[in-house]
Structure 1
Amino acid sequence: MMQGVLDHFLAAESDVYLILQLKDGPETTDVRFESFARLEQMGSAPNLDHYEAVYFANTPAYFYGMSNAEALEELYLTFNLKCPPDFRGHSLSVSDVVVLNREGQAGAFYVDRIGFKELPGFLEQMKEAARPQKSVAAQIKQAKEAAPKAKTKKHKERDVR
């Protein structure tokens, strides 16, 4: 699921946004609903592997001309007061990530206690995750092809009588 959403987001030719929320599980318990400053104190940072895509859509037309900060605040209000009917996450909260692609400029933003914190390295995580992964069989084949060929001596066949 996440792979397909990331591919669509990164390939979008129109303005789109993506909402990511932490997966349930032991690896996210300590970071769920924590401020960005608290993550830094813990020596942690948002990790794409801990998130799941809960919403992907075209950016509303009325966002045109807004700054990212204004657009993010509009999304915050939307996903707290009047969620779209097909939204399957919880209300937009601290520790969620909103990724915007507006006018060809993409940016990832951590929902913080007050406002949003830009996450420039997060986009690189997304691009890396969207790269096609080679199967194990393809990796083995590539390694065999790259390995130097061993020279073998040709032996004369013996005439066995």
Structure 2
Amino acid sequence: MLMLLQISGYAAESDDEYLLGPGDRLNVHVYNEPDLSVETEIDRAGFLSFPFLEQVLAQGLTTRQLETTIENGLRGDYLIEPHVQVSVTRYRPFFIHGQVNAPGGYPYQPGLTVDMAIALAGGLKERASKSSWSIRRAREAHQTEYDAERDTAVMAGDIIEISESFF
């Protein structure tokens, strides 16, 4: 089911709100436990490999929620009071296609807007629409398509479509 909604305005996604997903690269640090501190990537199924815990579901969690999940997994059998810090070292890409000079996937950066994404893609082509743009949000359960403006926030995994102008 495809739904068109209007979203505009800049709404930066902070690390506390950012939902992890496949392709994100993470640094997981367990304080005073260098053997348990790793850099890992979330696989296509949404899991990451972690010592002693094997596969940990990370997709859809914030970094803080993942910290708590790992702390709970290590508590008791391995450590008395583990302290874990998770940080994103590389975000999964967003994609832009249609009437831009260099369509493709680009590294996501917090605070990215459609205007910035267009600049990363080499700008608009001559025949590009100046207003008929849309974003498909990959992180939502039912993929939803939104109308987009220059200041619309872009999130990791989004697909931006720049339509052709007919005038």
TM-score range, shorter chain: under 0.3
Structure (1/2) with the larger helix percentage: 1
Normalising by structure 1, what TM-score? 0.24
Is the strand fraction higher in 1 or 2?
A: 2
If you compute each CA radius of gyration, which structure gives the higher value, 1 or 2? 1
Normalised by the length of structure 2, the TM-score is: 0.24
